Chains A and B, each alone.
Chain A
Amino acid sequence: MTTLLEVSGLSTHYVAARGTRVTRAVEDVSFSLEAGRTLGIVGESGSGKTTLALTLMRLLPPGARIASGSVRFEGEDIFTKSNSEMRAIRGKRMAMILQDPMASLNPLFTVGDQIAETLRAHEQMPRRGAWTRARDLLAAVRIAVPERRVGEYPHEMSGGMRQRVVGAIAISCEPKLLIADEPTTSLDLTIQAQYLQLLREIQRERDLAMIFITHNLGIVAKMCDDVAVMYAGRLVEFGPVRRIFDAPAHPYTRALIESIPRLGDPTARLTAIDGQPPDPAALPPGCAFHPRCPLVVDRCRVEAPPEVRVAVAHHARCWLASERPT
């Protein structure tokens, strides 16, 4: 299998007050993603998952600085690309779906115009051809009566339908990688199920690799092949989805899985994680999880643990993790 995306030693910091205040939003993150696979990046607010996604797309806000590391996409280092080369990659070879479709769409243009815009910019398609293709893309994201819908404005559509339009824009230039940042958080349950099924079908049809950024382990369980768990800017555990759910190596991952209520098991008391996620601008010394960790030992308080190999393709950053038989 071919490696589509390779991230190694990536650190992204936000620098404020003339460099005197540094927030380590992403710190020393490494992972790789193969073509056609789905990776879930899980973490709470402030864990750095969105900053990581923005770094991959090179869409960081001013004040953010890539401090170290590299990102290779289809074998090329994207940090050495010029801005115009990057513009040609974004939207064409890697695309993104954000949480709120109303914020991604322009209320003043028809959805047809907005899909056609991407095609005209990247593929130099003529106006009429792009419009026809926009209609086909709406059909591809299972929107009924696409020939009528293509001329409608975003406000004429429901939330679920708008998110489908965003999906149509994302796949319009046949990208290899789709990054979805909380794509279904604003949708109702049955609409979410429809959308997740649609993404999976599109992935199968087009051999697309996907990165799901979410705080919801249920989405990971349903959609992903691999999971990366982030805590306070660091990737604390990475591995195949079944391994992570059956034998999590990091206490944070284990606690997250145990804190979720399960259907059909209503009497059990939930395992709560004490305390709260740390402020990314003022991380505790040592392992950032140590103040909340039930298994903390003295070493955790002073020294940050290195990445340890637990099994094939399964890594964790914890002093207590060690290689285990699969």
Chain B
Amino acid sequence: MTALLEARGLTKLFPVGRGLFGRGGGAVRAVDGISFAIEPGRTLGIVGESGCGKTTTAKLLLKLEEPTAGEILFDGTDVTRLNGDGLHHYRRSIQAVFQDPFASLSPRMRVSAIIAEPLITHERLEGPEVASRVARLLDVVGLPARARDLFPHEFSGGQRQRIAIARALALSPRLVILDEPVSALDVSIRAQILNLLRDLQRDLGLAYLFIAHDLAAVAHMSHTIAVMYLGRIVEMGAAVDVATHPAHPYTQALFAAALPAHPDEARDGIVLMGEVPSPLNPPAGCRFHPRCPQVMPRCSKEEPQLQSAAGVAVACHLYDKP
């Protein structure tokens, strides 16, 4: 299958100013040469801890940040060099839903205006047609028609997230970036939103980039999972494989740290020591080596590259072929 979106060697450095004009400082390597592909109608999940670069990746795809190096191909065209009509078209095709539905909706706009705004700015639709599109979108995300005339504060968190989803769908995008879409919601509401997102993907053929802390939710939603550590992808493969037979020592530790769904599953497995080092000055060689339980002498010298092993792509010297 041809990819809808493909990232090649995507890199984003944030220079850290030290001295006059910010010269002489280092740079935070937030995303460092990552490559991945998202196929139409499929979900790529990204997992990793704070500072691993998953939100920067989302911002790069949304063109909220410009990459330092690398390219993003959408339908085969490099969007990092787009402008004018091409950029306009790209922005319509890719939309986002963020974590906090209390921050992402304007408190001064009625729901109808929030959902209609992209239709008016991008499609230049007129009154009656806008109204019918808004009504259809509200129906798609499971909100009553009367929601149209209310303000965001009149809704609960789960309903607000439905409004945010309706707005993201207004322009019939082909890829939706979901950055922690259920973390701010009550436990009993999360399943509603996850089910809605899966139904929408099936009915509308949407592709998702799903970013979340909750590993079980990512595994539930994704076809492919990429595991990031300090700006690098350390493992990528089919969701079932990564979740049930993680190959990289970091992935193994991450999934071992996931909370059990039943007391009998409670494992006292590998608990990683130490914390994630600063991305300003990442460790030499493999970035995970200072915390790795299976570290070898070469790990501190040579940085491992992604290679295929055990059905997934993994960046670890344990899987080097002799």
Residues of A within 8 A of B (CB): 44-45, 158, 160-161, 188-194, 197, 215-219, 221-222, 241-242, 245, 255-256, 259-264, 266, 269-274, 276-277, 292
**Which one of A190, A197, A273 lies within 8 Å of B49 (CB-CB)?**
A190
Whether B188 pairs with A270 at a CB distance below 8 angstroms is no
Whether B244 pairs with A264 at a CB distance below 8 angstroms is yes
Considering only CB atoms, which chain B residue lies closest to A218 in the complex?
B259
Whether A221 pairs with B187 at a CB distance below 8 angstroms is no
Whether A221 pairs with B220 at a CB distance below 8 angstroms is no
CB-CB nearest 4 A-B residue pairs: A218-B259, A261-B220, A193-B257, A259-B191
**Could you show 14 A-B contacts with beta carbons less than 8 Å apart?**
A44-B186, A158-B275, A189-B257, A216-B187, A221-B259, A221-B261, A221-B266, A259-B188, A261-B191, A262-B220, A263-B243, A264-B240, A271-B191, A272-B188
Of A45, A264, A271, the most chain B CB neighbours within 10 A belong to A264
- Residues of chain B within 8 A (CB-CB) of A158 are 275
Looking at the assembled complex, report how far the CB atom of B231 sits from the nearest CB atom of chain A, in whole angstroms: 16
In the assembled complex, B147 has its CB within 8 A of some CB on chain A: no
Of A161, A241, A261, A274, the most chain B CB neighbours within 10 A belong to A261
Task: Kindly identify, within residues 207 to 263 of chain B, every residue whose CB is under 8 Å from any CB belonging to chain A.
Answer: 213-217, 219-220, 239-240, 243-244, 253-263
- Residues of chain B within 8 A (CB-CB) of A266 are 219-220, 239-240, 243
Looking at the assembled complex, report how far the CB atom of B236 sits from the nearest CB atom of chain A, in whole angstroms: 17
Of B192, B261, B263, the most chain A CB neighbours within 10 A belong to B263
Q: How far is the CA of A189 from the CA of B50 in the complex (A)?
A: 9
Looking at the assembled complex, report how far the CB atom of A61 sits from the nearest CB atom of chain B, in whole angstroms: 22
Looking at the assembled complex, report how far the CB atom of B234 sits from the nearest CB atom of chain A, in whole angstroms: 13
Sample of 8 further A-B pairs with CB below 8 A, known A188-B49, A266-B240, A270-B191:
A189-B49, A190-B271, A194-B272, A194-B273, A259-B191, A260-B261, A270-B194, A277-B188
Whether B186 pairs with A188 at a CB distance below 8 angstroms is no
In the assembled complex, B129 has its CB within 8 A of some CB on chain A: no
Q: How far is the CA of A6 from the CA of B262 in the complex (A)?
A: 27
In the assembled complex, B154 has its CB within 8 A of some CB on chain A: no
**Which one of A242, A255, A262, A276 lies within 8 Å of B261 (CB-CB)?**
A262
- Residues of chain A within 8 A (CB-CB) of B273 are 194
Considering only CB atoms, which chain B residue lies closest to A189 in the complex?
B257
Task: Kindly identify, within residues 152 to 201 of chain B, every residue whose CB is under 8 Å from any CB belonging to chain A.
Answer: 156, 158-159, 186-192, 194-195, 198
- Residues of chain A within 8 A (CB-CB) of B265 are 221
In the assembled complex, B268 has its CB within 8 A of some CB on chain A: yes
Q: How far is the CA of A193 from the CA of B194 in the complex (A)?
A: 25
- Residues of chain A within 8 A (CB-CB) of B220 are 261-262, 266, 270
In the assembled complex, B264 has its CB within 8 A of some CB on chain A: yes
Looking at the assembled complex, report how far the CB atom of B262 sits from the nearest CB atom of chain A, in whole angstroms: 5
Interface size on B, residues (CB 8 A): 46
Looking at the assembled complex, report how far the CB atom of A193 sits from the nearest CB atom of chain B, in whole angstroms: 4
- Residues of chain B within 8 A (CB-CB) of A274 are 192
- Residues of chain A within 8 A (CB-CB) of B255 are 263
Looking at the assembled complex, report how far the CB atom of B46 sits from the nearest CB atom of chain A, in whole angstroms: 14
- Residues of chain A within 8 A (CB-CB) of B275 are 158, 160-161, 191
In the assembled complex, B276 has its CB within 8 A of some CB on chain A: yes
Whether B219 pairs with A259 at a CB distance below 8 angstroms is no
Whether A194 pairs with B260 at a CB distance below 8 angstroms is no
Whether A190 pairs with B190 at a CB distance below 8 angstroms is no
Whether A242 pairs with B263 at a CB distance below 8 angstroms is yes
Looking at the assembled complex, report how far the CB atom of B228 sits from the nearest CB atom of chain A, in whole angstroms: 13
Whether B244 pairs with A259 at a CB distance below 8 angstroms is no
Considering only CB atoms, which chain B residue lies closest to A261 in the complex?
B220
Considering only CB atoms, which chain A residue lies closest to B243 in the complex?
A263
Whether B190 pairs with A259 at a CB distance below 8 angstroms is yes
Whether A261 pairs with B271 at a CB distance below 8 angstroms is no
Whether B216 pairs with A273 at a CB distance below 8 angstroms is no
Looking at the assembled complex, report how far the CB atom of B36 sits from the nearest CB atom of chain A, in whole angstroms: 19
- Residues of chain A within 8 A (CB-CB) of B195 are 269-270, 272
Q: How far is the CA of A221 from the CA of B267 in the complex (A)?
A: 10
Whether B257 pairs with A273 at a CB distance below 8 angstroms is no
Known: A45-B186, A222-B260, A241-B263. A263 touches B215 (CB 8 A): yes
Whether A263 pairs with B219 at a CB distance below 8 angstroms is yes
Q: How far is the CA of A190 from the CA of B249 in the complex (A)?
A: 13
Q: How far is the CA of A79 from the CA of B259 in the complex (A)?
A: 37
Task: Kindly identify, within residues 123 to 174 of chain B, every residue whose CB is under 8 Å from any CB belonging to chain A.
Answer: 156, 158-159
Q: How far is the CA of A241 from the CA of B260 in the complex (A)?
A: 13
Considering only CB atoms, which chain B residue lies closest to A191 in the complex?
B275
- Residues of chain B within 8 A (CB-CB) of A263 are 215-216, 219, 243-244, 255, 258, 261
Considering only CB atoms, which chain A residue lies closest to B260 in the complex?
A221
Q: How far is the CA of A241 from the CA of B262 in the complex (A)?
A: 9
Looking at the assembled complex, report how far the CB atom of A217 sits from the nearest CB atom of chain B, in whole angstroms: 8
Q: How far is the CA of A259 from the CA of B256 in the complex (A)?
A: 21
**Which one of B188, B240, B244 lies within 8 Å of A255 (CB-CB)?**
B188
Whether B186 pairs with A277 at a CB distance below 8 angstroms is yes
Looking at the assembled complex, report how far the CB atom of A41 sits from the nearest CB atom of chain B, in whole angstroms: 14
- Residues of chain A within 8 A (CB-CB) of B262 are 221, 245
**Which one of B191, B214, B215, B240 lies within 8 Å of A272 (CB-CB)?**
B191
- Residues of chain B within 8 A (CB-CB) of A189 are 49, 213, 215, 254, 257-258
Q: How far is the CA of A61 from the CA of B189 in the complex (A)?
A: 29
Looking at the assembled complex, report how far the CB atom of A289 sits from the nearest CB atom of chain B, in whole angstroms: 10
